[in-house]
Amino acid sequence: MSHTPVFHTIREQIADRIRADVISGRLAEGTSLREQALAKQYGVSRAPIRDALLQLTQEGLLVAKPNCGVRVGSPSGEAIQPLVVELRRKIEVFALRKVFSKLTESDVKRLEDTVQRLKTACENEDLAEVVQQDMALHRHILEAIGNTDLLAMWLPIVSRMFLHYSRHRNMMESYREHAAIVDAIRRKDRKAAIEALTANIQ
């Protein structure tokens, strides 16, 4: 598919790193995040750190309180989880329907490479890497549309869902679900791809 390449800014790269650390549990609920320490850790000025923390606060992963700084938030309540799942399914199925017939061999190769990295992470039981590759695979589909508004809608929803990632008793279940999505896309079976995507989001 011929679409505009996605280039991540420093702020986006830092937000991606912190998001992955929160979702995987590397940064526990209630952990305080300080701009100066993060700027030193990532070797950047405080400006992109501040912007990244603001973005993640808007996504609901972090909580900012006056005179208390920014801390890692808590998972959303079970009461709204069905709504979160429904919203994510609607966005991702919409995206897949829009781009399905336009995906090129290069797009499919990108998805295949990601699912292979996911397999390795699942075999190694590396939760942080599993989360990163899982999210990357779904994000590839969203980014293929080239609509930043849709991506901005999706990010806070998927981020909140990923805080419940422990639903898989065996990490290889996650790999098999994603492999089914990519396999259907490779076979150009739109119906099967949508069904596999829908089954994965729960």
Q: Are residues 54 and 119 in the same domain?
A: no
Q: What is the largest CA-CA distance in the chain?
A: 55
Residue 166, pLDDT score: 55
In a domain? residue 3: no
In a domain? residue 4: no
User: With DSSP H G I counted as helix, E B as strand and the rest as coil, what are the percentages for the chain, rounded to 5?
Assistant: 70, 5, 25
Q: Which of 72, 87, 119 corresponds to the end of one domain? A: 72
Task: Note down pLDDT in tens along the chain; length 202 residues.
Answer: 444 444 478 998 899 889 888 887 788 889 999 999 999 999 999 999 999 999 999 888 899 988 778 999 887 767 888 898 999 999 999 999 999 999 999 999 999 999 999 999 999 988 878 888 998 999 999 999 888 899 889 988 888 787 766 545 678 999 999 999 999 999 999 999 999 999 999 8
Contact 57, 64 (CB under 8 A): yes
Domain residues for 25?
Answer: 10-72
Q: Are residues 44 and 115 in the same domain?
A: no
Contacts of 161 (CB under 8 A, 6+ apart): 84, 85, 88, 201
| One-letter identity of residue 12 | E
Looking only at the bridges linking them, the beta strands covering 62-65 and 32-33 are unpaired
Residue 3, pLDDT score: 45
Q: Are residues 28 and 67 in the same domain?
A: yes
Q: Which of 30, 47, 72 corresponds to the end of one domain? A: 72
**Phi (first) and psi of residue 182, to 5 degrees:** -65, -40
- The pTM (predicted TM-score) of the whole model is 0.80
Q: How many domains does the chain have?
A: 2
Residue 159, pLDDT score: 82
In a domain? residue 92: yes
The CATH number for 148's domain is 1.20.120.530
Q: Which of 72, 105, 126 corresponds to the end of one domain? A: 72
